[in-house]
């Protein structure tokens, strides 16, 4: 894959560089005194890098998601980033070919976009979902060697601000911060997640089916502590190199443990990062998503309504979930938040970061997350 190298300076206006960044640096001086990855571990040197980061996105979908994947790619595309698209094995070969042709047809604009040709069978409740994510990470580590954060999005996710604004704010953050929701207070999940033993048929069959439940149950592990959280992640390259290359045995040990774990994608990365002394203090306890919960059904609403728009915007989160295909609110997001006037079909052609007013919302969120008392209190415990 051909990579574009950006040498143009950022087009930041002086008013945009507010006192917030002085304040942010002060906060970081207080809060980010944690132990970073040791010099003995293989991680990249940041010397000489541009202060503007790069993101590596994994966008996933299944049968019938071609239209949604295309729309999501269009609105989050930026020449600085890398994108890997994956339709799981339930999608037809025609759908995967459609995605590949679409990317090739816009080769000049999408030269930083890859399509996973060898599809994984993904069963949401089983570890095949985690295996597919790790597969995508491995490809991005091999094919794109200069990104800073990995972000996974499903076809039901959508951005709430332009990429320029996210890049702008993240350019002021240390490259070792991992945005990952996590808690060791398992509550009801102890009996419904940690103790059951399941078998994922996706490892053995070519058709989707429900996971198999074993009659036996297991006790909680003694050699490591379990953590759980959201499946949405924004993880650093050094941490993911640790997970994939595993110069410590912890990632492999936990991978074997989570092979028979219900919804392992809600716990694997959380447990790895919180049980390793080099990464456990690099966590920001937030998944960068706004999620709407139905107070009556106690579950995520699949289609956010216009009435939720204000709360969603004020959250400061750069992404939201879960949206149904062609939900009316997506058009509202396109026009009012993303600056798209053609139904979200516009493509960014500039390689210069030009932020809009949306960065101020993300600024407020970061100040709150990195507040000294808030930051430390919500780390791995």
Domains, the chain: 53-191+219-377 (3.90.550)
pTM of the model: 0.84
Query: In the 8-state DSSP scheme, what is residue 193?
Result: I
pLDDT tens over the chain, length 381 residues: 444 433 333 444 444 444 444 444 444 444 443 334 433 333 333 333 458 999 999 999 999 999 999 999 999 999 999 999 999 999 999 999 999 999 998 877 899 999 998 899 999 889 999 999 999 999 999 999 899 999 999 999 999 999 999 999 999 999 999 999 999 999 999 999 999 999 888 888 777 888 888 889 999 999 999 999 999 999 999 999 999 987 889 999 999 999 999 999 999 999 999 999 999 999 999 999 998 765 544 445 555 566 678 889 999 999 998 888 888 889 999 999 998 755 444 445 446 778 788 899 999 999 999 998 888 888 898
Residue owning tokens 């040498």:
7
Ramachandran sector of residue 125 (left: φ over 0; alpha: ψ -120 to 50; beta: rest): alpha
User: pLDDT tens for residues 34-74?
Assistant: 334 433 333 333 333 458 999 999 999 999 999 999 999 99
State how far the Cα of 73 lies from the Cα of 315, in Å rounded to an integer: 23
Residue owning tokens 């999940």:
189
pLDDT on residue 302: 53
Contacts with 221 (C-beta within 8 Å, 6 or more apart), sequence order: 257
- DSSP secondary structure string for all residues of 73-123: HHHH--TTSEEEEEE-TTS-HHHHHHHHHHHHHTTTT-TTEEE-SSPPP--
What angle is formed at CA 234 by the lines to CA 15 and CA 298, rounded to 5 degrees? Answer: 105
State how far the Cα of 57 lies from the Cα of 136, in Å rounded to an integer: 9
């Amino acid at each position: 894959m051909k990579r574009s190298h950006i040498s143009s300076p950022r087009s930041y206006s002086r008013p945009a560089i507010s006192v917030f960044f002085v304040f942010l640096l002060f906060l970081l001086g207080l809060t980010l005194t944690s132990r970073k990855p040791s010099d003995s571990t293989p991680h990249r040197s940041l010397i000489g890098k541009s202060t503007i980061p790069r993101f590596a996105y994994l966008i996933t979908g299944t049968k019938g998601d071609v239209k949604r994947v295309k729309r999501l790619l269009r609105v989050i595309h930026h020449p600085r980033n890398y994108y890997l698209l994956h339709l799981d094995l339930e999608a037809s070969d025609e759908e995967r070919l459609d995605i590949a042709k679409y990317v090739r047809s816009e080769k000049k604009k999408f030269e930083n976009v890859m399509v996973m040709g060898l599809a994984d069978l993904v069963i949401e409740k089983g570890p095949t979902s985690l295996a597919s994510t790790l597969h995508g990470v491995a490809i991005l580590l091999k094919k794109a060697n200069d990104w800073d954060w990995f972000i996974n999005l499903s076809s039901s996710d959508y951005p709430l601000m332009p990429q320029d604004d996210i890049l702008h704010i993240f350019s002021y953050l240390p490259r070792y911060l991992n945005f990952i929701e996590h808690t060791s207070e398992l509550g009801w999940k102890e009996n419904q997640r940690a103790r059951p033993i399941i078998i994922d048929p996706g490892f053995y069959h070519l058709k989707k089916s429900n996971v198999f439940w074993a009659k036996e149950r297991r006790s909680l592990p003694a050699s490591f502590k379990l953590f759980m959280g959201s499946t949405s992640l924004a993880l650093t390259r050094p941490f993911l190199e640790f997970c994939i290359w595993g110069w410590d045995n912890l990632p492999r040990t936990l991978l074997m443990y989570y092979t028979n774990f219900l919804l392992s994608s809600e716990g694997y990365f959380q447990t790895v990062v919180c049980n390793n002394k080099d990464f456990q203090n690099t966590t920001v306890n937030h998944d960068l998503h706004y999620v709407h919960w139905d107070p009556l059904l106690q579950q995520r609403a699949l289609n956010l309504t216009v009435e939720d728009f204000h709360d969603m915007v004020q959250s400061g989160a750069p992404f939201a979930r879960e949206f149904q295909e062609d939900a009316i609110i997506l058009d509202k997001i396109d026009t009012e938040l993303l600056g798209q006037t053609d139904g979200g079909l516009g493509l960014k052609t500039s390689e210069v970061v030009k932020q809009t007013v949306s960065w101020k919302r993300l600024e407020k969120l970061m100040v709150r997350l990195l507040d000294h008392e808030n930051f430390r209190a919500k780390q791995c415990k």
